[in-house]
Structures are given as structure tokens and as C-alpha cells.
Structure 1
């Protein structure tokens, strides 16, 4: 026993010695089992999945803006030789995030809610800070990296969510939930980096108030993603303001930019909220104008739409419906590809027609993965799910609608799965086909007034006044001068 103990201690010492690295930000040695090369490889592998799942927002001037600011900030960071990549992804969710290897993403949702360049720069610095301090590598070392969908948690039960993870066609991402210490450190780096490139970092603190108001407006039930794992926004507001003031004092109180008008003109015309062309739900029906189909959403079911798939889940979390595209030249080929990809063992299938579309219907059980140590016995004990699949052919497109539940619940849900699939049909309504998204519209005020009056005079209905106040980062009773720019939304 003594010999084994000595060997174990020796092995641990070797691992600690060989796994130590100097943190670029703190300059301190720390245990790091992920090399910089591995970190870069993680980013290179994950980036295509992020862009495929969320889509890129196609605006060259906005992309040029974040490239310019991002490269400039990367050059003054603690890892100036890293080749940073910056993306705006096509999501209405308010979020910014970074993945290992220098990849930084902003949703169009968060870009719409910034009200000046300084706010953007502060958040940019925060995300670059996660990269320079190697927070993702530290999380990997501590084995607490979690796999979650980029658009949020699965909307069904954890048991069915496991199936949903596989159905994402390999697009599940390494998504990092950092500790509060890491988040606080990233806030400090955001102040430092944004100040270094000439922006007033206190504006980042002001943006935290916008996020907190957005959360409060939704009843506290929908935390903006950028806040979901971060310290209390009120505390952050105070601390970041203090850090920004300290940086100014230590550096001779330089004049730092805010650039409100320049930023608002940059985002004038940006899509706001859900983009109908990506699909939308109205009156319990899912419409997809680009692909020209429609299908019902069961009454009361939750739903979530991404470029990769449309999910529906019953409120009890016992059943899940997923619509996605599938590879193959025929419904039979597509069904075979899905079975292989998702580990499905078909028990029955039949050809049919659904509203003029060739289709294949099949029932299958998911084959649980065999445990390496438990073997077949462990596999037999693992809970499985049963699937009612409909593969529908529309020209070269193959749509797979998969209804998923536990085997015991399957008889209760199968009729509902079938009724949804059998109502899949061509979308012909011109109103739905031509539905346009709302966009940010920047208006110049002719008269001095308060924000409420300014919004009302620009056609904002009373029920949306508070929403627009949050979008502008202002209070409704706040005074706005003639010549000022404000944001409203319109077609």
C-alpha cells in the first residue's frame, strides 16, 4: 500500500508539473491540462457548428465595424498574437459569448440593444477577457464544460432532451458557464481593453441596467442570456463604474469616446425580434415563408425555432416533436440516414402521401449506447425512447417530423404526432409568404420633449412604449433634445 501511495503521489506531481502554465493575464502559474494548440482546435471545430446552428447576420458594414474594433482590441489584450475571429449571428436573443481559440460572437439581438459604441466595446472587451484569461481552458481542466444548445435549454424533459441533443445533427456546442470570479475578472478586462482603445468603459455598466430592465419587463422569468451566469447586475453596475473611474485617474483622465449617434446610424435598418423568413408561429400554426410550408403546433405546447430545427414540447415535458431536414434522395433513404444517425431501430414502416407529398411513416425505438464497462446488461437497463417519424418529400427537400416519448407514454401521444404530420401542407397565403420583419428605425427629433412623447409622435403605440424605452436605454420621462436620435421599430 505504501508503494502504491508513493507511486500515486509521484504521478500526481508529474501531472501537476507538466500541466502547469502561466496565465497570460495574471502571470501566475496554474494547472492547465489544455494546451494552447488544443484550445485553438476546440474553437476551429466549434465555430462551424455555431454559425450553422444560428446563422450569420448578413450586414457587411456591421461586420466590418466589429472586425475593426475587435482586431484593435485584440492587439492591446494580453494575447495579442492570437488570431481573433468576430461574428454577428442571426438571433434575436440578447447575448454575446466567446469560445476557445479566439472566437467572439454577438447576436443581432444584443447589437440592437446597444446604444453607443462604448457599450459595445465594453462587452467586446469582456468576451475577449474570457479568452485572454483562458477561462474556457480552465473550465475544461476542471471538467465542468457542459454541452447545451446555443439557443437555450431543451424545452422538453431532461430524458427527452438527451434525444434532442442527438437530433441536433452534431450541432450541440461546447458552451461555457464561467464562475462568478471569472465573470468579474472578465468585467475588469472589459474595462481595461475598451478604455485602451479609447472608449468610456462606464457605458458597459449602464448597459447592465438595460439587461436588468429587459429581465424585469418579462416578469423576471426570462433572464437575458448575457446575464444568466453572470454576477448580480446591480453589483456589476457599481463595480464596473468604479473600475472605469480608477482607470481614468491612473491614466491622466483622458477624453474617452461614447459615440452614440455613430452607433445608431450603424444599426439603422437592422432586423429586430423574430425574422419571419426563418419561420414564425401565429395562431398555433408554424409558417415557413422561405420553404413554403405550414404545420400546426399543438395547443399549449412550448416551441423553439432555430435554423437547424423547430421543436415543440408538451407542457408536462413528456413528449417532443421536432421538424428538421434529412439527407437522402427519397423518403426511404432519409429514414435510413436518420435511423443510423440517431441510433434508431425501426419496428415498422409504410409509404403514404401527405397532402400531395410523398412520405414514409415509421415507428422506431432508440438503441441505447452500450456502456464500455457494463456492456449489454447496462444497455438493456438504460431508459429509451420511442419515435413516430414522418419523412415528407418536397422536391429535393426531405423533412423529418419526429414525435418522441417514453415507450409507456407513446400510445397516448402517437395520435397527436400523426395529426400534426398529416396537417403538413403547402403555404400559399400571400400574407404569410410576404411577411416582413420589424427593423430598427433611427429617428431625428425635431422638438425637445420627454422620451414618451418622442416615441408617441413617431408612431409607437402605448403598449410598446416601455419596450422602446428599454431598447433606447432610457426612461420614458427622460428629456431628449431637438436633434437627438432615438430608436423605434417598424416594417
Structure 2
């Protein structure tokens, strides 16, 4: 037992030496990562993100977000970090921060913000996470509970003790969520005031997010699916949360710079929904102008455009068909590529695909101990290799859905010139409200096909009711 005591004291000493003064709060925090390690960790994850998430290609907009972010950083507690602010090219309503100052905002969120102060509030909140080293503190807490779990397990000789401590540690780390978000709100509000933005912009952003969340939940219920909302506790604040109000009002209040016109000019022409570079969904079609391709999915199937794949689900989600890129194999024909993927012993009923500038091969694959059937195809086009895989939850339905999946595979074609305009997607555009203008009238001029009135209200912070004022700049989608 003395050896175990010695081990526990060594581990305890390691934990105690991990305390450091938080640069943003002045309190002593438990951390097991130096600042250089923090920056290195953030850089490593940023490199991964650059490979996994598409970066919005508008350099002018990227530079604008960087300028606003740097204005916040200059008045923060850790201005020495080399912050990078990046716009992600997805319609997701989200923003997040990595250790060391790597901050990301999705253009989907930017579409619903209405001023530079709103943008600054989102960025300031994320900067607050960085300056307070929230990710580092959570990482250290996780490591600490892991170490303590080892000690408990060693003393008890029961492996489950480690699992129990791990569960306890997970609860502790998750428990930080509420406090960390409020701390990021307070620090963000402070940075806003220091940078001459009104700290109340933090409340405005939460209002925008809550409206979007309400609409998203309503739409999801109507479509029979789970809603997707902005990350973290930042989205769960009630509009009139007393603690949030106290946090925001605890910093010096300045009327500050709203920058509405600057912001609207910056996002004028920004992609809305799918972007040209990521491919565009139009009805049953997926159009990708940079790759010059078009593919048509079965009627009624829901198409999801992910950063690394396109996925279609049948109405009852009984069947799925996915398409993604695979590495090129020199001197390997499509049929051989398919055989390499699934094994010749598992391949059934293969056939060639030949059309203008397209070569491919499709077959049925039998996999798993129950012999589950899948439709697999490899298509060579424009120097790229496309994999298409279709499957059903239950094998007995495969014969019902396979003809639809095969039809989709054979619909793969060179993008017709008549679809070039559609393949460019929708854009946020500015217009001045006319006298007597209503969102119902604007909806008729919009390219939005579904929930046009509701989406225009959300875009212009008029949800769920109200009409624009004459002469006001409005965002529309065309």
C-alpha cells in the first residue's frame, strides 16, 4: 500500500503544480498546458479543419472579418496571440474557437446578422473563450480526472472505479459549460465596449439566434426531423436571462459604433444556402459548376450537401445513397476499382457505364455475415474518381430501392449549359424598402422557394412580425 500512496502523492503534486493565473480573469486556474502548447494544439487542429471544412473563397469578405476581429483582439487580455478569423463556406448557423486564437464563423450565421456590431459580438464571444483559456481548462480537467481515476482504480483493484471516476469527470467538464459561456459573454461585452461597440450587441445576437432556433424547430417538426441550432449555451440563454443581463450590464455601456451599412455592404453578394464552390441543390438535382457535373436523385428524397459528401435519404429514411470523391489509382479501370473495394467474391451483377466524357462501373456488393446488399459504383470524370454507394436498413427492401439508386447513378452527367445559372446558387442582395413595402411582397421578388416570408423576416430581424420602414436597407435573396 505504501507504493500506491507514493504514486498518489506524485500524481497529486503534478496536479497542484498545474495552477496558473488566468490572463483574462486574474484567478488561479488548473491547467496542464503551456501557452506555446496551446498555440501548437490550435495550429494542429486548424490544419485539420482547413482540409475538412471549405473556406469561403471571397478574399474581400475574409479580410473584412479579420479586420473586425483584430479590432476586438487589440482590446482583449491576450492581444499577443496571432489570431486568425476565418469564414467557413457552409450554410450552418455556427461559430467556434480553437486554442491559441483560431476563430471560425460560418457564412450561414453571417447572413442573419444585421450589423458590424453583431458580427463583433459573435467574434468577441469566441475571443473570450480563447483569452480565458476555456478549452485548455477543460482539457486539463479531463486529464486530471483521468489521473485520479487511475489512483482510485489502483487502490480499489476494481476496474469499474476508473470508469466511475471518468463519468464523474465528464460531468465536471460539462458542468463548466454554463459558467464558461457566461464568462465568454462578460469578456466579449467588455471587449466590445473597449473597441467602441455597444455591448448590447451581445443581446441582439442572442435574439437573432433565438428567432432562428424557434423557426428551425418549427420547420423541423413540420418535416419530422430534429432541429439543428447554434452551438453551446450561447444559444440557450433566454432573451431576458437575468444573469446574462447582469453580465452584459456589468461592463461600461457605450452607444458605440453600429456599422450596419458597412456590414450590409460587406455581405452583399454573399452566397445563401449552398454555394457555387460547394455545389448547389435544386429540387432533385445536385449541380456542381466547378466540377462541371449534374446528378439527379430520386423524387422525394432529401439531399444533404456535406463538406466531403452528398447524401440522399428516402422519405422514410429506409434507403440511403451517398457520393464522395476517392483517390485516383493510375492505370486502374473502373471495374477493377470496384473489385478492389468490395472483393470479387462479393460482387454481383456488374456492368459498365459509358457516356460523354464519363466512364464507370456499377455492381451489387454482398457484405457482412448476413450478406447485406449494397449498390456500388465508381465513375471517372474530369480526372476525378467518384464513389456512389446505396443501401437499405433492411435487406428485404433492397430490390425496391435499387432501381432508383441505379437510375441516379446513370443520371451522372456533364453539367448542361442551361443549368449554369442554377449552379451558381442564391445570393444575399440589398434593396431599399419602398413606401408600403411588406415582406409578403418582397417574398414574391425573392428566389426563395420555401418559407420565403419567414426567412426574409429572419434575415432582417423582423421575426415573427412587423414590416420594413420606407427607405430602410433590407436583405433579400436572389
TM-score scaled to structure 1, two decimals? 0.75
Q: Which residue of 2 aligns with 1:77?
A: 76
Q: Which residue of 2 aligns with 1:358?
A: 359
State the distance in 1 between where 2:44 and 2:334 align.
26
SS at match of 1:44: helix
Shift of 1:198: 0.6
Which deviates more, 474-483 or 200-209? 474-483
Asked whether 1:212 is paired with 2:210, we answer yes
The unaligned stretches of length 5 or more in structure 1 are 145-175, 368-379
Which deviates more, 308-317 or 14-23? 308-317
Pair 35,334 (structure 1): closer, same or farther in 2 beyond 3 Å: farther
Question: Do 2:217 and 2:227's aligned partners in 1 also have CA atoms closer than 8 Å?
Answer: no
SS at match of 2:14: helix
Question: Do 1:86 and 1:105's aligned partners in 2 also have CA atoms closer than 8 Å?
Answer: yes
State the distance in 2 between where 1:337 and 1:16 align.
53
Match of residue 183, structure 1, among 181, 184, 189: 181
Question: Do 2:439 and 2:467's aligned partners in 1 also have CA atoms closer than 8 Å?
Answer: no
Q: Which residue of 1 aligns with 2:286?
A: 286
Shift of 1:399: 0.9
Match of residue 199, structure 1, among 197, 200, 218: 197
Question: Do 2:280 and 2:287's aligned partners in 1 also have CA atoms closer than 8 Å?
Answer: yes
Q: Show the 5 A alignment for 1:55-94.
A: 55-94=54-93
Question: Do 1:301 and 1:315's aligned partners in 2 also have CA atoms closer than 8 Å?
Answer: yes
Q: Which residue of 2 aligns with 1:136?
A: 135
Shift of 1:300: 5.0
Pair 482,66 (structure 1): closer, same or farther in 2 beyond 3 Å: same
SS at match of 1:332: coil
Q: Show the 5 A alignment for 1:262-411.
A: 262-276=262-276, 278-314=278-314, 320-330=320-330, 332=332, 347-348=345-346, 352-356=351-355, 357-361=358-362, 388-403=375-390
Q: Which residue of 2 aligns with 1:472?
A: 460
Pair 337,99 (structure 1): closer, same or farther in 2 beyond 3 Å: farther
State the distance in 2 between where 1:15 and 1:335 align.
58
RMSD (Å) for aligned C-alpha atoms: 3.9
Pair 35,246 (structure 1): closer, same or farther in 2 beyond 3 Å: closer
Q: Which residue of 2 aligns with 1:148?
A: none
Q: What does the per-residue CA deviation read over 1:219-245, in whole Å, with 9 as the maximum and x for residues that have no partner?
A: 444655424554523256654444333
State the distance in 1 between where 2:10 and 2:38 align.
24
Pair 36,352 (structure 1): closer, same or farther in 2 beyond 3 Å: farther
State the distance in 2 between where 1:307 and 1:241 align.
37
Question: Do 1:345 and 1:365's aligned partners in 2 also have CA atoms closer than 8 Å?
Answer: no
SS at match of 1:70: helix
State the distance in 2 between where 1:183 and 1:426 align.
48
Q: What does the per-residue CA deviation read over 1:416-445, in whole Å, with 9 as the maximum and x for residues that have no partner?
A: 586156424314543323213222222234
Asked whether 1:51 is paired with 2:55, we answer no
Asked whether 1:259 is paired with 2:259, we answer yes
Which deviates more, 323-332 or 125-134? 323-332
Q: Which residue of 2 aligns with 1:226?
A: 230
SS at match of 2:56: coil
State the distance in 2 between where 1:322 and 1:177 align.
37
Shift of 1:363: 7.0
SS at match of 2:250: helix
Question: Do 1:346 and 1:365's aligned partners in 2 also have CA atoms closer than 8 Å?
Answer: no
State the distance in 1 between where 2:246 and 2:471 align.
32
Question: Do 1:202 and 1:240's aligned partners in 2 also have CA atoms closer than 8 Å?
Answer: no
Asked whether 1:99 is paired with 2:87, we answer no
The unaligned stretches of length 5 or more in structure 2 are 144-173, 221-225
